[in-house]
Amino acid sequence: MMRQYELVERVQKYKPDVNEALLNKAYVYAMQKHGKQMRASGDPYISHPLEVAAILTEMRLDESTIAVALLHDTIEDTTATRAEIDELFGEDIGRLVEGLTKIKKLDLVTKRAKQAENLRKLLLAISDDVRVLLVKLADRLHNMRTLEHVPPEKRARIAEETMDIYAPLAGRMGMQDMREELEELAFKNINLEAYETVTGKLAELSERNRDLIHTIEDELSALFSHEGLKATVKGRQKKAYSVFRKMQSKSLSFEQLSDVFGFRIIVDTEADCYRALGIVHMRWSVVPGRFKDYISTPKQNDYRSIHTTIVGPSRQRVELQIRTSRMQDIAERGVAAHALYKDGSTGGEGLLSKDSRAYSWLRQTIEALSVGDNPEEFLEHTKLELFQDQVFCFTPKGQLIALPRGATPIDFAYAVHTDVGDTCVGAKINGRIMPLVTRLANGDEVEILRSGVQVPPPAWEEIVVTGKARAAIRRATKAAVRKQYSGLGMRILERTFNRAGKPLSRDGLKPVLHRLGQKDVEDMLAAVGRGEIVSEDVFKAVYPNHQETRVSPRKPADEGWFNLRSAAGLIFKLPGLSKSQKSTTTTRKIGPDPDMAAMPIRGMDDNAVVRFGPGGAVPGDRIVGILEPGAGITIYPIQSPGLTKFDDEPNRWIDIRWDIDENNKNRFPARILVTAINAPGTLAEVAQTIAASETNIQTLSMVRVAADFTEMLVDLQVWDLKHLNNLITQLKGLGSVSTVERVYE
């Protein structure tokens, strides 16, 4: 266990003016508070905060952050209070310790909604002061190092949480060394068999290629020395989880991997990085497509380096990373390498540069909290941002836009601005008009084509890969649907108010919103349009003293059209139809018949008796026949739910398809469900639209499903699928119609 003076000496190595008094006080206070508490391993509990503090000294953090590490479990696990810590160590340290206490209580591996909300709290806590995250990551790292002492069921949960949340967070903060160790430890506990297999193969490979690694190091060093370039070359082997992830993502065997070993070339300046690159490329061939310049275009976590792969010494593929010492420091320690110190009463307030790109990513992620409609959307957005590799694209003015790999121009548009995404209608990639589904590549210049009348279609949600774009498309889609229902609700209220002879205005609706439980007029109108609020209730709220006058019901405008058959179901039939047209299910026999036109269908016997299922079928549908013993064949569209009852009787299925004579037009049965406003004239408007489209009505039944809406189930006869779809489109365009859908039975 680390002693008090050893901790001070560790900090003094990189910060000679360390505030020893603060560290000594925190050390003694933590020792006293934890007293005789023990860890699951049997070690004194105080060993844990000491090890966390030791990890932070390796990251060269200030004494305030080290003190927080020593105290981070005192409020939760001892008699210490926030007020007591504030009094002894100051409010800054007290706030950080309390923040860590709250984070420790968050369960980040739980049902989706709760996990999302807890992730919100975690990111909100660390966005205010990233030192909270640094201490938390060090705390998690030591807990992972000692995870074997935890019960198996708890061990799996902690490892999963580490792999899903903390390791990616460390990576996004640029702390690659910590990320790799967290992933290795989590991998070992999540999939021990895979871990041992990959580790064993890596050990064999390392032993087999030991001389080769030294040979490559020596040859590269000699080459740089000969060219007069000061450079340090160091070979390294990839970690087990990194190898396993690549094998999984690219479906490769271990033997197929060609870049298990990599070499870092450390030079003094940026100019030396490019000089080293030129020396290497002049000596050995480059592997096409394996060059990346993260110096001119850094990653969002501040990572800067040149990556290239060459066919190097001994004809081996060699992956090289060329960077300066400063770049190496940032690659290993990330945001911790941006720590700035300034004198204060506590011996140095540890601040993290808010100009850091990693910190900027964190702030952008937190901004998603204000635009996300629900916690699940935020979780989706954040996890996408955490896990995705990136591509770097440019606007026509040269602005750099970093996007997840696989992103489309739509993602690019929303990354520029939500308004740009919402009005996007096309894109030029490198000067050429390209489809919006095109996957962007590194270095693409993207110009977004816009239109003020564009509304993002819901289908875009399946195309984009960024959480920001998906959330924006969902919001736009909801707004468009809300606008549609709002317009329908306004028309419903206008008819209700007109029948009573009363004026209607949006301003007149505002005073009654609270009585109807609505936030604004648009919400209330949309609720009426959806049938959630009855129009009469709105009228009564606006005119509570209105006396209703009963009026004799009007007859239909054209009495020759309809004949009332049932007060309960409101069954109507068009006059003049033949007997066969009036039947719900049409039975036809192949062959000449004066009353029924022939319906040729390939795959059937010439004498087969054919009938349609209850929902009908029309040319253009994919159809299937079901053999009815002793009763002929029943035709169903392939998507008909009625077919499920024949799943266990494959011998009754008959493969058939349409064979329609263009010169001998026949009508075929189909069924639609129309939801319309319950008002005089609506039925006539629907029927006239159907008649105008040259469609026959077989039967029509009406059911009032709400005070303002009526459902009409209509059996039709149409020429084909195109004819039916055109009719549905026309009906949807009627102001009195809410929805129209085809019914399969």
| pLDDT for the residue 166 | 84
User: Does residue 108 share a domain with residue 241?
Assistant: no
- CATH number of the structural domain spanning residue 277: 3.30.460.10
DSSP H or E run through 562: none
pLDDT in tens, 181-233: 999 999 999 888 999 998 998 888 888 877 888 888 888 999 999 999 999 99
For residue 290, what are its two tokens?
């394996």
Is the pLDDT score of 566 beyond 80? no
Dihedral of the CA atoms 413, 418, 424, 428 (nearest 10)? -20
pLDDT band for 713, please (50, 70, 90 cuts).
Answer: very high
User: Does residue 259 share a domain with residue 110?
Assistant: no
| Average pLDDT rounded to a whole number, residues 103-123 | 61
| pLDDT for the residue 446 | 92
Is the pLDDT score of 631 beyond 70? no
Note down the domain range covering 625: 571-742
Is the pLDDT score of 571 beyond 50? no
pLDDT band for 323, please (50, 70, 90 cuts).
Answer: very high
Average pLDDT in the chain: 78
Is the pLDDT score of 549 beyond 60? no
DSSP class of 556: P
| pLDDT for the residue 225 | 93
| pLDDT for the residue 663 | 65
DSSP for 126-181 reads: HHH-THHHHHHHHHHHHHHHTGGGS-HHHHHHHHHHIIIIIHHHHHHTT-HHHHHH
User: Does residue 156 share a domain with residue 237?
Assistant: no
pTM of the predicted model, to two decimals?
Answer: 0.55
pLDDT band for 606, please (50, 70, 90 cuts).
Answer: very low
| pLDDT for the residue 492 | 84
DSSP class of 695: -
| pLDDT for the residue 562 | 26
| pLDDT for the residue 604 | 45
| pLDDT for the residue 624 | 84
User: Does residue 182 share a domain with residue 205?
Assistant: no
DSSP H or E run through 386: helix 375-387
- Give the strand pairing for 571-572 and 390-394: unpaired
User: Does residue 327 share a domain with residue 245?
Assistant: yes
Q: What percent of the chain has pLDDT over 90?
A: 20
Burial zone of 192 (CB within 10 Å; 0-12 exposed, 13-18 middle, 19+ buried): exposed
Is the pLDDT score of 355 beyond 90? no
Q: Flag whether 413 is in a domain.
A: no
CA distance 473 to 468: 9
Is the pLDDT score of 587 beyond 70? no
Identify which has the larger pLDDT, 331 or 353. Answer: 331
CA distance 440 to 426: 14
- Angle, nearest 10°, between helix axes 63-71 and 4-12? 150
Least confident of 41-50, 154-163, 250-259, 509-518: 250-259
pLDDT band for 644, please (50, 70, 90 cuts).
Answer: confident
Residue with structure tokens 């960024």?
Answer: 466
- Give the strand pairing for 632-637 and 623-628: antiparallel
Cα angle 189-191-194, degrees, rounded to a multiple of 5: 130
Q: Flag whether 347 is in a domain.
A: no
Going by C-beta distance under 8 Å and a sequence separation of 6 or more, which residues neighbour residue 618? 668, 669, 670, 718, 719, 720, 721, 723, 724
Q: Flag whether 411 is in a domain.
A: no
| Burial 373-402, CB ≥16 within 10 A → b, else e | eebebbbbbbbbbbebebbbbbbeeeeebb
pLDDT band for 581, please (50, 70, 90 cuts).
Answer: very low
pLDDT band for 568, please (50, 70, 90 cuts).
Answer: very low
The SS3 of residue 463 is coil
| pLDDT for the residue 144 | 93
pLDDT in tens, 35-77: 888 888 888 989 999 999 999 998 888 888 999 999 988 888 8
Dihedral of the CA atoms 362, 367, 368, 372 (nearest 10)? 150
Spatial CA neighbour of 420 closest among 445, 398, 447: 447
Is the pLDDT score of 668 beyond 50? yes
| pLDDT for the residue 247 | 84
305, 336, 367 - which closes a domain: 336
Task: Domain count for the chain, please give it.
Answer: 4
User: Does residue 70 share a domain with residue 11?
Assistant: yes
| pLDDT for the residue 345 | 33
CA distance 118 to 166: 13
Query: Per DSSP, which regions of 516-638 are E strands?
Result: 571-572, 587-589, 601-602, 609-612, 623-628, 632-637
Least confident of 325-334, 428-437, 721-730: 325-334
491, 521, 542 - which closes a domain: 542
DSSP for 234-297 reads: EEEEPPHHHHHHHHHHHT--GGG-S-SEEEEEEESSHHHHHHHHHHHHHHSEEPTT--EETTTS
Spatial CA neighbour of 424 closest among 414, 438, 415: 414
| pLDDT for the residue 382 | 57
User: Does residue 638 share a domain with residue 501?
Assistant: no
pLDDT band for 715, please (50, 70, 90 cuts).
Answer: very high
Least confident of 137-146, 285-294, 571-580: 571-580
User: Does residue 77 share a domain with residue 22?
Assistant: yes
Whether residue 706 contacts residue 534, with contact meaning beta carbons closer than 8 Å, is answered with yes
CA distance 601 to 625: 10
Q: Flag whether 414 is in a domain.
A: no
Q: Flag whether 466 is in a domain.
A: no
272, 307, 336 - which closes a domain: 336
pLDDT in tens, 688-703: 899 888 898 989 888 8
- CATH number of the structural domain spanning residue 615: 3.30.70.260
Other residues' Cβ atoms within 10 Å of the Cβ of residue 145:
13
Q: Flag whether 685 is in a domain.
A: yes
- CATH number of the structural domain spanning residue 67: 1.10.3210.10
Whether residue 509 contacts residue 521, with contact meaning beta carbons closer than 8 Å, is answered with yes
For residue 669, what are its two tokens?
């049965």
> Backbone phi, then psi, for 620, in 5-degree steps?
110, -30
CA distance 55 to 136: 11
| Average pLDDT rounded to a whole number, residues 144-169 | 86
| pLDDT for the residue 110 | 59
pLDDT in tens, 379-415: 555 554 554 556 778 888 877 787 877 889 999 999 8
Spatial CA neighbour of 437 closest among 394, 404, 408: 408
CA distance 602 to 608: 12
| pLDDT for the residue 388 | 53
Spatial CA neighbour of 349 closest among 68, 50, 4: 68
Is the pLDDT score of 520 beyond 70? yes
Going by C-beta distance under 8 Å and a sequence separation of 6 or more, which residues neighbour residue 280? 220, 223, 308, 310, 320, 322
| pLDDT for the residue 347 | 35
User: Does residue 202 share a domain with residue 65?
Assistant: no
| Average pLDDT rounded to a whole number, residues 349-372 | 53
Q: Flag whether 460 is in a domain.
A: no
| pLDDT for the residue 410 | 93
User: Does residue 184 share a domain with residue 202?
Assistant: no
Most confident of 21-35, 298-312, 605-619: 21-35
User: Does residue 90 share a domain with residue 26?
Assistant: yes
DSSP class of 335: G
DSSP H or E run through 352: strand 351-352
DSSP for 73-129 reads: THHHHSS--HHHHHHHH-HHHHHHHHHHHHHHT--SSSSHHHHHHHHHHHHHHHHH-
User: Does residue 93 share a domain with residue 142?
Assistant: yes
Q: Flag whether 578 is in a domain.
A: yes
pLDDT band for 248, please (50, 70, 90 cuts).
Answer: confident
Cα angle 529-532-536, degrees, rounded to a multiple of 5: 80
| pLDDT for the residue 325 | 92
Whether residue 300 contacts residue 255, with contact meaning beta carbons closer than 8 Å, is answered with no
Region for residue 431 given its phi and psi (left: phi exceeds 0; alpha: psi -120 to 50; beta: otherwise): left
* Residues belonging to the active site: 76-77
| pLDDT for the residue 595 | 32
